[in-house]
Amino acid sequence: MLLDALRREAPADPLPETRATVPPTPASARQPAEAAGRGIAVTARDLRKSFDGHAVIEGLDLFLPAGGFTAVVGRSGCGKSTLLRLILGLETPTGGRIVLEGPETGPRRSEPPKRIMFQEPRLLPWARVVDNVAVGLSGHGSRAERRERALAALAEVGLADKAGQWPLTLSGGQRQRVALARALVSRPGLLALDEPLGALDALTRIGMQDLIERIWLAQGFTALLVTHDVAEAVAMADRILVVEAGRIALDLRVDVPRPRRRGDPDLARLEGRILDHLLGAQTDI
Amino acid sequence: MMRPTPLGRLRDTAVPWLLPVAILLGWQAAVSTGLVSNRFMPAPLDVVRAGWEAARTGELWTNLWVSTLRALSGFAVGGGIGHPLGLANGLSRLSERLTDTSVQMVRNVPHLSLIPLVILWFGIGEEAKLFLVALGVFFPIYANTLHGIRSVDPALVEMGRVYGMSRTELFTKVVLPGALPSIFVGLRYALGIMWLTLIVAETISASSGLGYMAMQAREFMLVDVVVLAILIYAALGKLADALTRQLERACLAWNPAYRSA
């Protein structure tokens, strides 16, 4: 009943119009039924996590509707990465609980997986690019099937011609695109992005932001972006959570239509507001 | 970069060989002119002649074959125990706690110091040589396999877990390839120790093999055969190293450090 209450509060469909304006990508054209309503909804209740007695997350409540794009911002050490790792099951909560709900209660095997993109690409240097992408399909289908889907995912991120290369021969931005293809090849219901663009140069970063946004619009997974770059958060997300001292201090909607123009005054105003909040919190300490 | 001309390429290949060739010529000249007595040091041509003679009678091939077989079987036994044990101790905390301390204690015994004991146990038969080579090879293989597994990037292992790899996949796709560069270091070390151990063992106690051939030659003051045996050992060591290098290049092609120029 608690979950029902939370769900009522959530918007029924976070992207009613924008989805229609996006040109279909090859993948969504192939599997049109999958493109909508594939996201996983996330609910956290009174979530707590401490390391060696030091509390990082302190009684956090959260609901992420299926298919939404949420950004979590905060200063370093505020617990935003820990929150993401908890939601993915990479850490065990000290208290409270997290519930992930897939789109329908089908057989367990067919549930869309949850995937993460790390800050570093974390590619296997000894596997060719296409085989690295196929890692995202571990335990699914035959070898040939995995390869074919991996090639399709590489084409989606614009790296079809790099399939046979070693990761060490690629640029930083290309490696991160391979990591994105690996995360997406299994058609995830939840994609967690743990500051994945932090190490890229400014132009490459904008290109990656647009790529991730485009694929998210086409595939309809739930996206959770952890970042310290407020401009990035307001450019990409439709909801921004500011985390402070293990709690959500600010929960803002970004009602700016897509495609968003960089330097949009509405976005700038929102960015300023969040930065004021973060800097204000800093001077308090 | 400029494309090298054929002449330039020839020069690049020739340069490393200038010094060895000069030394050989000087050596030949010193012996031929009587500057160095050929009782101490045979002329290069004498060594070549001795090699030809030994090859013609078949004595060289028999001894070479015997020595190679000993080296390889000792290597197979030592590596066949060291590698799995290194893997086991790298992957299992229990296995490591159970065996690593003991292995480290035995490691501090110089294996060649066991020769008298080994002769008492096995006589001068094949078992003695096999035992010594296996023991010598075991430690570098074991230690480097263990170190390789330990040094696998935990971030990659975490990635493999998150992406749903089974334990087998995690081992074959992440852990083992990550440990491979270190395993190769162990392999090359072990090959060096393999020849070293065999030479010592054959020189001290044997009735066939290259070391035996050298010791026989010493009895009859055949300096050229002694030098021949030494050079063959050197060539075999170089050959083993070159083969490992090829294997490294094939297995570690992803790593720019190992890619052939």
> Range of B138's domain?
42-251
Instruction: Check if the beta carbon of residue A133 is closer than 8 Å to that of residue B165.
Output: no
Q: What is the pLDDT of residue A171?
A: 93
CB-nearest partner of B163 from A125, A138, A166 = A138
Q: Which of the two residues, A246 and A37, has the higher pLDDT score?
A: A246
Residue B1 within any structural domain of the chain: no
Give the mean pLDDT of chain B: 90
- Give the CA angle between residues B104, B105, B108 to the nearest 5°: 90
pLDDT band at A12 (very low <50, low <70, confident <90, very high): very low
In A, which residues are within 8 Å of B173 by CB distance? Answer: 124, 127, 135
Confidence (pLDDT) at B4: 65
The reported pLDDT for the residue numbered B174 is 96
Contact yes or no for A272/A101 (Cβ under 8 A): no
Q: Tell me, what's the pLDDT at B39?
A: 81
Instruction: Please give the Cα distance from B72 to B153 (Å, whole number).
Output: 33
pLDDT tens profile B59-73: 899 999 999 999 999
Mean pLDDT of A26-54: 70
Q: List the single best residue of B156, B162, B175 to mutate versus A (max A Cβ within 10 A).
A: B162
Task: Identify whether B35 is part of a domain.
Answer: no
Are B240 and B94 in contact by the 8 Å Cβ rule? The answer is: no
Considering chain A, what percentage of its residues have pLDDT values greater than 70?
83
Q: What is the pLDDT of residue A281?
A: 62
Closest Cβ–Cβ partner in B156, B162, B166 for A90 = B162
* Mean per-residue pLDDT, A39-46: 92
pLDDT at B83 over 90: yes
> CB distance B163–A122 less than 8 Å?
no
Residue B56 lies in a domain: yes
B5 occurs within a structural domain: no
Looking at chain B, the whole-number percentage of residues with pLDDT higher than 90 is: 60
A13-38 average pLDDT score:
41
Judged against a pLDDT cut of 50, whether residue B111 lies above it is answered with: yes
Going from the N-terminus, what domains does chain A have, and what CATH number goes with each? 27-113+188-285 (3.40.50.300), 122-186 (no CATH)
pLDDT (0 to 100) of residue B201: 87
B151 assigned to some structural domain: yes
Calculate how close chain B gets to A127, using CA atoms only, in Å.
Answer: 8
* DSSP conformational letter for A67: T
For chain A, say whether B192 makes contact (Cβ under 8 Å): no
Quote the pLDDT of residue B11: 84
Q: Given the DSSP bridges, would you call strands A69-73 and A41-51 parallel, antiparallel or unpaired?
A: unpaired
Question: What contacts B249, CB < 8 A, 6 or more positions away?
Answer: B258, B259, B260
Contacts across the A-B interface (CB distance below 8 Å): 52
Q: What is the pLDDT of residue B3?
A: 64
Min distance B91 CA to chain A CA atoms (Å): 19
- In a 3-state reduction of DSSP, which class is residue A264? coil
Contacts of B158 in chain A (CB under 8 A): 90, 122
Q: Are A116 and B162 within 8 A, CB to CB? A: yes
Of the pLDDT bands very low, low, confident and very high (cuts 50, 70, 90), residue B14 is: confident
pLDDT band at A108 (very low <50, low <70, confident <90, very high): low
Surface-to-core class of residue B186, CB atoms within 10 Å of its CB (0-12 exposed, 13-18 middle, 19+ buried): buried
Q: Which two tokens stand for residue B20?
A: 């060895």
Longest CA–CA separation in chain B, Å: 75
The tokens describing B48, both together, are 């070549």
Chain B: residue whose CA lies nearest to A129: B254
Domain total for chain B? 1
Give how far Cα B146 sits from Cα of A175, B135, B253, Å: 30, 17, 22
When pLDDT is cut at 50, 70 and 90, the band that residue B147 belongs to is very high
The average confidence (pLDDT) of chain A is 83
> What pLDDT does residue A36 have?
52
The CA distance from B215 to B191, in Å, is: 23
Contacts of A115 in chain B (CB under 8 A): 162-163
CA–CA dist A269, A263 (Å, integer): 10
List, in order, residues 6 or more apart from B55 with CB less than 8 Å away.
Answer: B61
Band of the pLDDT at A10, cuts 50, 70, 90? very low
Give yes or no for a contact between A41 and A64, defined as CB atoms under 8 angstroms apart. Answer: yes
What tens digit of pLDDT does each residue of B192-212 get? 999 999 988 888 877 889 989
Contact state of A125 with B255 under an 8 Å Cβ cutoff:
yes
Distance between CA atoms of B78 and A33, rounded to whole angstroms?
A: 59
CA distance A139 to A118: 21
- Which token pair is B207? 């009735």
Q: What's the pLDDT band for A28 if we cut at 50, 70, 90?
A: very low
Task: Determine the distance from the C-alpha atom of residue B168 to the mean position of all C-alpha atoms in its chain, rounded to a whole number.
Answer: 31
Residues of B in contact with A193 (CB under 8 A): none
B142 assigned to some structural domain: yes
pLDDT category of residue A112 using cuts at 50, 70 and 90 = confident
pLDDT reported for residue B260: 54
Residue B3 within any structural domain of the chain: no
Specify whether the CB–CB gap between A194 and A116 falls below 8 A: yes
| Chain-chain contact of A138 with B178 (C-beta, under 8 angstroms) | no
Q: What is the CATH number for B81?
A: 1.10.3720.10
What DSSP assignment string belongs to B36-49?
A: S-TTTS--HHHHHH
- Contact criterion met (CB < 8 Å) for B180 and A122: no
Cross-chain CB nearest to A138 (options B156, B169, B256): B169
Which tokens sit at B60? 């060289």
Q: Which residues lie closer than 8 Å to A277 by C-beta, 6 or more apart?
A: A242, A249, A250
As a whole number of angstroms, the distance between CA A67 and CA A65 comes to 6
Tell me if A122 and B177 make a contact (CB, 8 A cut-off): no
- Which residue in this structure is represented by tokens 């035992």? B131
Q: Is the pLDDT of residue A61 over 80?
A: yes
Q: Considering only residues A238 and A263, tell me which one the structure prediction assigns the higher pLDDT.
A: A238
Q: β-pairing, A69-73 with A54-64? A: unpaired
The answer to whether residue B258 is domain-embedded is: no
Query: Which contiguous run of DSSP H or E holds residue A48?
Result: strand A41-51
